[in-house]
Structure 1
Amino acid sequence: MDMSKEYCVVPSEAPEHHPSTLSIINSDVFYSFEDAYEVIKKCGDIIPEATSVMELLPSRAEARSKPDFPVIVIEGLDATGKTTLTESLRDSLGATLLRSPPQCMSPLRARFDQEPPLIRRAFYALGNYITAEQVGQEGMKAPVIVDRFWHSTAAYAIATAVSGPVCNLPAEGSEVYRWPSDLLQPSLVVLLTLDPEERKRRLRDRGQGKTEEEQELDHNQLFRLKVEEAYRRIAGPACVTVDASPSADQVLQQVRLLIRGKCHL
């Protein structure tokens, strides 16, 4: 016996979050020292270098009051002029220059870059807390300039975790973009931006080796757009965007004006 069936297609509401964003918190981005620490601690039996990481960590991470002097973070993709700008700011302001991840973690980076995302992200998250400890000490004596900080760690992780176009990123204001409550907050965050073709030209001129994520930036425009948008959506504090295409002296003067207005230096 033949039976006819009729089907009706009806629209449904779009989901609040794209499915690929559901597992970002504490798997791709860590929002506390303890959560990242627990991941590295559990790796001790299979990754001998995990012990070396834990030896570098501060005894405990607490939400700190801001240091006596301003803390200015310079963010941006590779070849946007961060190194030139941070060194110029150090010299012109009489500041201390720090980097995240800190120099003490450099010998371990190649090892952890080979690990699955959960372990790799926890490693870089803890690098921010080591840098924050250094900032807290140096910021009592002079202004501090930081070459990358938590914004970079989170922006790259979010862009990697979220598949598809930029519109799939969690909406602005999502808890994914919140600043960790136990991590020192900078006084000002400057995001250097640059035309993609100019950035590629600068990268070619440098001829340096790149990480897997930096290589992805070079050939995947969509990934680059997601990283840049994630940077802009992170709050606590939000980034102030500066065009890095003028000369180094012009960019320095523009950032000095920002620092003077925001930090009274």
Structure 2
Amino acid sequence: MVAAPPGPCFAVEGAGPDLIHFTLCSEGAAQAPEPRCFLPAPAKCYSLCVPATPSVPAARLHRRLQQSLRQGPFARCRLLGLLCYSSGRGAPAAVEKGFLIQDPQGGPETERALEDLLRSQGEQPPPPLGVYEAGERGELWQSLWALRRAGGRELLRRAQVVAAEEPPLHPAVSSLRSAAVFHCLEAARGVVEQCTSLIPEAKAVLDLVDKCPKHSKKGKFPVIVIEGLDATGKTTVTQSVKESLNALLLRSPPTCISSWRKTFDDEPTLIRRAFYALGNYIVASEIAKASTKSPVIVDRVEESYKRMENPTCKEVDASPSREEVLRTVLHLIKNHCGSL
């Protein structure tokens, strides 16, 4: 095992919870151990990565590659998640994400199919392809090839592959805050704006968001958010509370965009979460407006409620009978919201 150098390191996500870490050495390191994610001959391994930046093109490219690598000429291969990260001081920073492809048969057709796949993605230049091969003394080497769209390739580097020490934190930790977590309306809106030329429904979502008031203010009636796991009776309790209080029931995503859920659910995580984040802003506006006229019951948008004020949260045991759970919920509402 060698300490991680300042250059690029890699983490392979296997079937279990542990990551396999390796790095590249420009000088020969014959005594260094080989990472256990690489198969012995005649098997052969390949890798490809795309930038881990929170952008729509990179997210969609990663998704397309993932889908393509699970079918056709790659059906016999095993696909493992791969992170490329820098190992400077502090937490490691993930700079690229991609895949390690294990071909148990090691035939040349897999490498040709990978080159064709990368050239067909519309990227200029195509993502480079890493090819792993044993050296004369049994050591493992990575050859990184730049692919020309018209055909042919150029060697970018050749380095020995050796096992690396595990960093103190997961390589993706440093990029979690920017990967697909939106802390303001502008951040989520910016992602969906990038999709307007790719997803027709994106423009309609943005139009609805733009119609919402910039600052939502809750009315005098209480807003009650009911959260819970599936199959715990949450829907039944929600409906009963609505009828008991003569309240308005709202859901997230709101009705005005719920018909587009399937479209955005099929997109990468970055786009999907941006869609639901904007849905929360729309619901927050609906909650504020509705609470000026009657009590409001919200089925799962706790986040929308939090955007207006800090809520009081009470946990209710859902294991008793439906009637008893309803009595408990109504008792809590009256205690915290006064007479309705």
Are 1:184 and 2:308 matched, yes or no? Answer: yes
Give the alignment of 1:100-119 within 5 angstroms. 100-119=252-271
**How far, CA to CA, are the matches of 2:283 and 2:171 in structure 1?**
33
- Contact 2:318-2:325 at 8 Å conserved across structures: yes
- Contact 2:225-2:302 at 8 Å conserved across structures: no
CA deviations on 1:54-109 (whole Å, 9 max, x unpaired) are 12224355443332111111111211222111111111011111001112222100
**Runs of 5+ in structure 1 lacking a partner?**
1-14, 154-178, 189-238
2:330 alignment partner, one of 228, 232, 256 = 256
1:65 alignment partner in structure 2: 217
Pick 1 or 2: higher relative contact order, CA cutoff 8 A, min separation 6: 1
**How far does residue 25 in structure 1 lie from its aligned partner after superposition?**
2.6
**Runs of 5+ in structure 2 lacking a partner?**
1-166
**How far, CA to CA, are the matches of 1:97 and 1:41 in structure 2?**
30
Q: Judging by fraction of residues, say which structure has more strand.
A: 2
Q: Judging by fraction of residues, say which structure has more helix.
A: 1
2:207 alignment partner in structure 1: 55
| Code of the aligned partner of 1:185 | E
Name the larger-Rg structure. 2
**How far, CA to CA, are the matches of 1:103 and 1:21 in structure 2?**
35
| Code of the aligned partner of 1:91 | E
Per the alignment, do residues 16 and 186 of structure 1 end up closer, same or farther by CA in structure 2, a change over 3 Å counting? Answer: farther
| Sequence identity (%) | 49
1:29 alignment partner in structure 2: 181
**Any idea what SS the aligned residue of 1:68 has?**
coil
| Code of the aligned partner of 2:334 | R
2:321 alignment partner in structure 1: 247
- Contact 1:26-1:35 at 8 Å conserved across structures: no
1:234 alignment partner in structure 2: none
**How far, CA to CA, are the matches of 1:133 and 1:101 in structure 2?**
12
**How far, CA to CA, are the matches of 1:138 and 1:186 in structure 2?**
18
CA RMSD of aligned residues (A): 2.8
**Any idea what SS the aligned residue of 2:274 has?**
helix
1:124 alignment partner in structure 2: 276
**How far, CA to CA, are the matches of 1:85 and 1:31 in structure 2?**
31
Give the alignment of 1:176-255 within 5 angstroms. 183-185=307-309, 187-188=311-312, 239-255=313-329
| Code of the aligned partner of 1:251 | V
**How far does residue 150 in structure 1 lie from its aligned partner after superposition?**
4.3
CA deviations on 1:145-171 (whole Å, 9 max, x unpaired) are 0001144x9xxxxxxxxxxxxxxxxxx
**How far, CA to CA, are the matches of 2:226 and 2:273 in structure 1?**
20
**How far does residue 18 in structure 1 lie from its aligned partner after superposition?**
5.0
- Contact 2:218-2:292 at 8 Å conserved across structures: no
| Code of the aligned partner of 2:203 | T
CA deviations on 1:97-155 (whole Å, 9 max, x unpaired) are 1001112222100000000000000000111111111111110001100001144x9xx
Are 1:139 and 2:291 matched, yes or no? Answer: yes
**How far, CA to CA, are the matches of 1:16 and 1:137 in structure 2?**
48
> TM-score scaled by structure 1?
0.59
1:79 alignment partner in structure 2: 231
**How far, CA to CA, are the matches of 1:129 and 1:63 in structure 2?**
10
**Any idea what SS the aligned residue of 1:23 has?**
helix
Per the alignment, do residues 22 and 128 of structure 1 end up closer, same or farther by CA in structure 2, a change over 3 Å counting? Answer: same
1:43 alignment partner, one of 191, 195, 205 = 195
- Contact 2:212-2:282 at 8 Å conserved across structures: no
**How far, CA to CA, are the matches of 1:242 and 1:19 in structure 2?**
38
CA deviations on 1:11-42 (whole Å, 9 max, x unpaired) are xxxx9965444333353322211111111011
- Contact 2:251-2:301 at 8 Å conserved across structures: yes
Per the alignment, do residues 18 and 102 of structure 1 end up closer, same or farther by CA in structure 2, a change over 3 Å counting? Answer: same
**How far does residue 184 in structure 1 lie from its aligned partner after superposition?**
2.0
Per the alignment, do residues 114 and 120 of structure 1 end up closer, same or farther by CA in structure 2, a change over 3 Å counting? Answer: same
> TM-score scaled by structure 2?
0.47
